[in-house]
Structure 1
Amino acid sequence: MMRFITANLNGIRSAATKGFFDWLPEQKADALGVQEVKAQDEHVAGNFCSSGDLKGHFHYAQKKGYSGVGLYTREQPSDVITGIGVEEFDFEGRYIEKRFDKPGRKLSLISCYFPSGSSGPERQEAKYRFLAAMAPHLEALKAEREFILVADVNIAHREADLKNWKGNLKNSGFLPEERAWLDQLFGSGKGQGGLVDVYRQLHPDTTDDCYTWWSNRGQAYAKNVGWRLDYHFATPKLAALAKSASIYKAQKFSDHAPLTVDYDFQL
C-alpha cells in the first residue's frame, strides 16, 4: 500500500507551530505533497527538509514568503524535476515532480500549486495562462508515464464541491471557464485529458464532508462553509488502485485540511 497525503500548509513554519510535523509521523505516509510553503531553503534546510523517513525536495518561489511546493517521499527518486518550463510560473515555485522509474515502469509523483485568481483580474488572467500551460504538459506526461499529481487547484469542480455554489457562480474558483478546464481534464473522450479525480471516484456523492478549504472570514470553518480545492489527479491505471480517501479535520494546521489517499501499489 502507498499512502499519499496532500496538504496546503499556508506557510510551512506556521503549520509546524500548529503541530503538523507532530501529526505527520502518526500517518505512516509514503509520500507527502505540500503547497504554499512560503519559505526559502534557508528556512527549510535542517528544519523541515525531512520528517522521519520522509525526505523532502522543494521548488521555491523567487519572491520570499510566497507560494512554493514540496514533495516528501520515503523512497529515493530516480529523478527530480522542478517547474513546467514556463518562466512566469516557474519563478513562482509551483511544480515539483519525483520520478520512480524501474525497468518496465515509468511512474511520477507530483506536488503542484495552482494560482489563485481571487485577488483581482490580473491574477485571474495569470490563472488562465497557467491552466493553458498545464493542459498540454499533463497530456505529454500521460503519454509517456503513469503519475499521481496532488495539488491545491484553487477550483471547485461541481456544485457539490462547495457550500455556497449559487453565491459563487461569478467568483474565482467556481467560474465556468475554470470548471470547464476540469471537465476537459477529467474527460475520457478523444482530445480530452483522461485523468481521474480520485476522491470523487471513491466518494461520488459526498457533499458537506468533501471540503478541504474554509475562508478565514466570518465563521466559515465553524459552520462548514467550505470548498473542495485539494485534489489527487491520477492516470486511470493508478486511480484504479486507489482504495480509500480521507480528509483530516480533527486538528487545524492551516486554512486547508490534509487529504490522504491509499493506493494498492508500492513505489
Structure 2
Amino acid sequence: MKLISWNVNGLRAVVKKGFMEFFEAADADIFCLQEIKLQEGQIEMDLPDYYLYWNYAEKKGYSGTAIFTKRKPLSVQYGINHVNHTNEGRAITLEFDDFYLVNVYTPNSQHGLLRLDFRLEWEEAVLDYVKELDSRKPVILCGDLNVAHQEIDLKNPKANLKNSGFTPEERGKMTEFLASGFTDSFRYFHPDLSGAYTWWSYRTECRPRNIGWRIDYFIVSDRMAPNMEQAKIHKDVLGSDHCPIELELK
C-alpha cells in the first residue's frame, strides 16, 4: 500500500503547476494534503477511483486538509477533539480495518514565536488524541508537522535555535511523541542521511541550493514499523514550497 503526503501551499495554485501529473504517476492508495487554502465548492477534482474528504478552515484562503483514498474508511472524524482547535481545518482521521490514518497540519509558531503557546497546546492535544486511537489499533500520522526534530533535519541548525520550527520546546514535543510508542518512518530507513529536506523557503534561492528543513513526516505506531517497506522524499516534485513524501507498507 502506498501513501503520499504533501503540503501543497494552496491546492488551486498547485493544480496549475503539475499536481495532477504527479498524482496520476504516484497512483497512491491514500493521498493526504495540507494547507489546501480553499473553501467548499472552490475546486472540482475529478477522481473517480477515490473517496474525497475535506476539512476547510473557517478563514478563507487559509490552512485546511484533505484526504483522497481508494479504500473506503469505516469512519471519518474532523479535528482532534479539542475546543481550541476546531476552526482551522487542521486534521482528518480515517479509520480502516487495521489502522487509523491521521492527516494533520500543525500550527506554525510564527515569527517571534507569537503562537508558540497555541502550538504547544496543539501538540499535547494531538498526542493525547493519537495515543487514545493507538490503544484501539495502530496509527499512521502524516502531514506537515512544522518541526525539524534533530540538527540533521535542517541545513543551518545553529542559526535557527530560537526560530519557529526548531525551538527546544517544539523539538521536545516531537521527542515526547516518538517516545510514546511511535516511529519516524524516514529515519527508520535513513537514520544518518543528511541533506534530506521537505521544505525550502522561497527566499534567496534556497531550493536550488538545498537550504531546507525536513518538517513533513509519516509517523507510525511502533508495532507497525515492521510492515514498512520504504519511506521516500520526492524532492524533485515542484509546485509548492514543500515536496511530497511517501510511505509504502506491506
Q: TM-score range by the shorter chain?
A: over 0.9
Is 1:236 aligned to residue 222 of structure 2? Answer: yes
Percent sequence identity over matched residues? 36
* Selected match of 2:159 from 167, 174, 181: 167
Contact 2:55 2:90 (C-alpha < 8 Å) held by counterparts:
yes
Structure 1 runs (4+) deviating above 4 angstroms are none
Alpha-carbon distance in structure 2 between the residues aligned to 1:40 and 1:239? 36
AA matched with 1:229:
I
Q: Note the C-alpha offset of 1:151.
A: 1.1
- Indicate the SS of the match to 1:39: coil
TM, length-normalised to structure 2: 0.96
- Indicate the SS of the match to 1:243: strand
Is 1:90 aligned to residue 76 of structure 2? Answer: no
- Indicate the SS of the match to 2:33: strand
Is 1:143 aligned to residue 135 of structure 2? Answer: yes
Q: Note the C-alpha offset of 1:251.
A: 3.0
Could you say which residue in structure 1 is the equivalent of 2:123? Answer: 131
- Indicate the SS of the match to 2:37: coil
- Indicate the SS of the match to 2:85: helix
| Two-structure CA RMSD over aligned residues (Å) | 1.2
Could you say which residue in structure 2 is the equivalent of 1:248? Answer: 234
Alpha-carbon distance in structure 2 between the residues aligned to 1:206 and 1:54? 34
AA matched with 1:163:
K
Alpha-carbon distance in structure 2 between the residues aligned to 1:137 and 1:110? 10
- Indicate the SS of the match to 1:224: coil
Could you say which residue in structure 1 is the equivalent of 2:205? Answer: 219
Q: Note the C-alpha offset of 1:173.
A: 0.4
Q: Note the C-alpha offset of 1:52.
A: 4.7
Unaligned runs of at least 5 residues, structure 1: 188-192
Q: Note the C-alpha offset of 1:239.
A: 2.0
Unaligned runs of at least 5 residues, structure 2: none
Q: How many residues align?
A: 250
Contact 2:200 2:211 (C-alpha < 8 Å) held by counterparts:
yes
Is 1:73 aligned to residue 69 of structure 2? Answer: yes
Q: Note the C-alpha offset of 1:86.
A: 1.6
Per-residue deviation, residues 87-121 of structure 1 (Å, max 9, x unmatched): 322200011011113xxx4x211210000012343
Is 1:43 aligned to residue 42 of structure 2? Answer: yes
